[in-house]
A and B are shown apart, each in its own frame.
Chain A
């Protein structure tokens, strides 16, 4: 087990595409770190540089106290789980697990012991002698994890390992990965484009955008205090409402409505309001948002009301029992009001 440190790590591909811009990041020993961002933001590239599958254009990657820029993947003491599992199709599950150990000259009985242990942890003992094609997606996923576990590496690297599973299995495996990591305490870096996966798994998550770090923090920190409109829109489901507004006299104003924004500087801002933070209030309340309802999505546990406020679209979450008219009168807690710079999108205050 080891800490992993990235010191202004950058990657420019041969074609001239800069996929990752000078990233600094310290991953603690035993931490579960999730890299999250939209497709093409450089998550995989960053992970593959840590794994040693991609050359590092600039900066340094340290695993433990060792700079590993020039070290072969096999010597980096990491294990990786791929999106398509990358199991060797012609080897049995047992051989798949043992292959890496055999290559590094681990004695036979030790290999057998580790394989048996991994099989027990992952409950794959029943099909150790099957070939991967005779396994379901979830079972293959477990074997891929098993192959990582038997190595007893300093760090696990996951590249979207659940993307090929159906929704139900994904939730189940998500829980298992979380428990497994907690149990083994192995430093883990996990790449995903799914913000929910990121939120549920991470000790800390790193939101990437265009090869740069947008924000680093615990899931709650990132959810409660998104550092930019990008993070605000990306993290949380349904997504945060972002509205053009203006601050004057300690209130943020939006058409006829206004919400408290103590201490905010005057001028144009982007106002962020999470759908679940909007509450109904009595009609005619001072400064309340008047929402014209367009349509309603029933989610079972709650309903999402889509509509407009002063010509800008807005979504709010309402309890299912509520009876809705054509307009809703809404307000939000001062703590739930997020303000971002209108030009740069950076968080204000």
Chain B
């Protein structure tokens, strides 16, 4: 019995390690590739050990970009992506939490209609409504603007459901106690609902930040000038050139840099997230 379990343990670990290796290997390749000079790829063999051109690659990408494939300097694209990801996550969270607040705590005419309208937006992600949305954005003159990049992605209150569920788990007596304590609706929202939802906000922020950061189709449509390129768009541009070798060292250093912000968000938010999981009690 004991031996048997030990065998299972080893097997389980083996599977896990294989899984991790499977996921981590491409990341490792990217990291290594970003440290080599351009000529190291010509042989067709992907190097597995670090090269000597790390600083040159990264500094070139940060400051100049890859003019040959029409990619602006990375700091610009990273900035754009950051603006986009932050606007989408913050905007969506703000809209969702406020609409959930209205739906759960207020009795107003058309409450159920509002609820169902929000529900419908769940079924209409950008990809589904992309043509009409593009038309609207174009007519409003929002092509090549940050507003054009972000507003259509914000304007669906999908996270409303999440917050509605969160609010429904908060006992009604808490709201009543707050009323007796002289807290009006907005004070209740700021002083009690918001702090109690902070772990959910953190979790949602992680998801939405990555969702915003990874957007490709929409930025591709609404940006024509390089000023508003996002990093994902940039990578695609660089890898996609027609009549020459892709410059893998530069592309991979871009990829590595593009990974950093989402990873940081996950690491930073996870602490809050886990802490919240441990101590949440409503």
Any A CB within 8 A of the CB of B24: no
Q: Nearest Cβ in chain B — how far from A95, in angstroms?
A: 10
In the complex, what residues of A have CB within 8 A of residue B173's CB? Answer: 82-84, 86
The residues of B with any CB-CB pair to A shorter than 8 Å are: 171, 173-174, 176-183, 187, 191-192, 195-196, 279, 281-282
**Are B174 and A74 in contact, CB atoms less than 8 angstroms apart?**
no
* Given A86-B173, A89-B282, also A53-B182 (CB < 8 A): no
Top 3 closest A-B pairs, CB basis?
A: A100-B181, A74-B182, A86-B173
Please report the C-alpha to C-alpha distance between residue A100 and residue B181 in the assembled complex, in whole angstroms. Answer: 4
**Are A89 and B281 in contact, CB atoms less than 8 angstroms apart?**
yes
**Are A82 and B176 in contact, CB atoms less than 8 angstroms apart?**
yes
In the complex, what residues of A have CB within 8 A of residue B282's CB? Answer: 89
Any B CB within 8 A of the CB of A223: no
**Are B176 and A88 in contact, CB atoms less than 8 angstroms apart?**
no
Please report the C-alpha to C-alpha distance between residue A80 and residue B192 in the assembled complex, in whole angstroms. Answer: 18
Q: Nearest Cβ in chain B — how far from A103, in angstroms?
A: 4
Any B CB within 8 A of the CB of A104: yes
Please report the C-alpha to C-alpha distance between residue A72 and residue B181 in the assembled complex, in whole angstroms. Answer: 11
**Are A80 and B182 in contact, CB atoms less than 8 angstroms apart?**
no
* Given A86-B171, A89-B281, also A99-B176 (CB < 8 A): no
Of residues B174, B180, B183, B191, which shows the largest number of chain A Cβ atoms within 10 Å of its Cβ?
Answer: B180
**Are B174 and A88 in contact, CB atoms less than 8 angstroms apart?**
yes
Q: Chain A residue with minimal CB distance to B180?
A: A73
**Are A84 and B183 in contact, CB atoms less than 8 angstroms apart?**
no
**Are A89 and B180 in contact, CB atoms less than 8 angstroms apart?**
no
**Are A99 and B174 in contact, CB atoms less than 8 angstroms apart?**
no
Please report the C-alpha to C-alpha distance between residue A217 and residue B274 in the assembled complex, in whole angstroms. Answer: 55
Please report the C-alpha to C-alpha distance between residue A307 and residue B255 in the assembled complex, in whole angstroms. Answer: 86
Any B CB within 8 A of the CB of A269: no
Of residues A79, A80, A89, A100, which shows the largest number of chain B Cβ atoms within 10 Å of its Cβ?
Answer: A89
* Given A84-B173, A99-B191, also A74-B196 (CB < 8 A): no
Any B CB within 8 A of the CB of A78: yes
**What are 25 A-B contacts defined by CB distance under 8 Å?**
A52-B179, A53-B180, A73-B180, A74-B179, A74-B180, A74-B181, A74-B182, A74-B183, A79-B180, A80-B177, A80-B180, A82-B173, A84-B173, A86-B171, A86-B173, A86-B177, A88-B191, A89-B196, A89-B281, A90-B196, A99-B191, A104-B182, A133-B279, A133-B281, A147-B181
Q: Chain B residue with minimal CB distance to A78?
A: B180
Please report the C-alpha to C-alpha distance between residue A133 and residue B280 in the assembled complex, in whole angstroms. Answer: 9
**Are B195 and A99 in contact, CB atoms less than 8 angstroms apart?**
no
Q: Chain A residue with minimal CB distance to B195?
A: A90
In the complex, what residues of A have CB within 8 A of residue B281's CB? Answer: 89, 132-133
Any B CB within 8 A of the CB of A51: yes
